[in-house]
Structure 1
């Protein structure tokens, strides 16, 4: 999903997959812009449907029954008795259908539970992000490098957490990706490896009180244990 903000129209038209729909519904809970856009699109769609129906004229019913009375009806065909073997076959097919439906229902229930669990985790993390941003001691720092990478971080010493946002002008390169770091002197702590091709991300980081800087490097797709220098973006919070 390259840009979740671009899914508003498809969401209103019910043109998303189950996973995309669940992800976009979670996104709507925290994005007022998309929520407004979805409401406006739904109102527009409802208005477009206003002229698509009309009440049938009173004479239509009489015309239909007149045509029915003039139309010759086929004689009913006597039903053939069903052989016992056919009955057994129908029973087998019906049983298979019931079992398949039960299996599908079970699978759907498992998927729903997983989505509920993911939704709960996302809501809990969103609450933590809000707590950091609204903390009395929240401090914001940002910096843009010559490489076109911008880092913005909000730290809270009292919560020992930080919210780090990165945006880049372009992907890291072929078979390369961006990796985020918390720096404490000469010690670098992995703060997240981004998927290949990603140019923006937001991370909630714990244990950030001791960090004196945050940085981003270009690494292999699986990330690295230590930063590959030089960094392509860095912001100091000391």
Structure 2
């Protein structure tokens, strides 16, 4: 899948592509389930936007508007004593056409806004995927590095935390495997420790007992800690630590 075809999905849903581009996207959709799902979601989104922006006009709306044109004043009086000017039918119709054109431009602007939002969403998803792949590649590099050092400690209540560190990769991996969830609906939280203090490396979701966390720059830390915290984690570690792995 090329980035060009992927980023045309939004325009494809809005029918804002050429025949050649439409054929390229159609061909791509036959082989890409992710893009087919995205097309379905975008079509649902645009349909919902249209539901709130369009309704069928009453049958007599056109006749009523044309009738009102000849009796509705289009400009303000010149002075209080001056008679109201008689509107010119041609000018009134021109203003009606201008209003209709404004409606069309507004609808076009809404479609453009939808495309911009969806295109930004695609770019964000692509960035997230690229970041996840970079993390995966670095994790493999750390675990396969010739200078890999493994350190570990037991977790209070059962289980173990293992820290894999590589000076060459300037990164490390924290692997937690606790035997059970903390009591009282609390969660495990990972920390890196330096002389300046502790930095959170993330709290586990409630009920989760295992995690693997890549930490760039881990060799500069003096240790890794595991604590039990309220759901969502804490800004600072709660004593005592459930596990602590010295790195020096």
TM-score w.r.t. structure 2 length? 0.51
Contact 1:193/1:223 (8 A) holds in 2: no
Q: 2:190 aligns with which of 172, 180, 184?
A: 180
Contact 1:176/1:196 (8 A) holds in 2: no
Deviation at 1:217, TM superposition (A): 0.6
State the structure with more CA Rg.
2
Consecutive unaligned residues of structure 2, counting only runs of 5 or more, are 1-33, 42-61, 67-95
Count of matched residue pairs = 164
Aligned to 1:194: 203
Q: Deviations over 1:157-208 (max 9, x none)?
A: 3333211111334444557432212346x77532413154143322222333
Structure 2 Cα separation of the partners of residues 160 and 95 of structure 1 = 54
Pair 1:101–1:219, CA change in 2 (3 A): same
Is 1:214 the counterpart of 2:224 in the alignment? yes
Secondary structure in structure 2 of the residue aligned to 1:203: strand
Structure 2 Cα separation of the partners of residues 207 and 123 of structure 1 = 18
Is 1:223 the counterpart of 2:246 in the alignment? no
Secondary structure in structure 1 of the residue aligned to 2:114: helix
Deviation at 1:144, TM superposition (A): 3.8
Is 1:115 the counterpart of 2:121 in the alignment? no
Q: 2:214 aligns with which of 204, 221, 232?
A: 204
Contact 1:164/1:202 (8 A) holds in 2: yes
Q: 2:111 aligns with which of 89, 101, 104?
A: 101
- Aligned-residue Cα RMSD (Å) equals 3.9
Secondary structure in structure 2 of the residue aligned to 1:111: helix
Contact 1:149/1:233 (8 A) holds in 2: no
Aligned to 1:50: none
Structure 2 Cα separation of the partners of residues 193 and 204 of structure 1 = 11
Contact 1:177/1:193 (8 A) holds in 2: no
Judge which range, 114-123 or 90-99, deviates more. 90-99
Contact 2:191/2:202 (8 A) holds in 1: no
Consecutive unaligned residues of structure 1, counting only runs of 5 or more, are 1-10, 19-81
1:7-22 paired onto structure 2 within 5 Å: none
TM-score w.r.t. structure 1 length? 0.53
Deviation at 1:109, TM superposition (A): 0.4
Contact 2:192/2:200 (8 A) holds in 1: yes
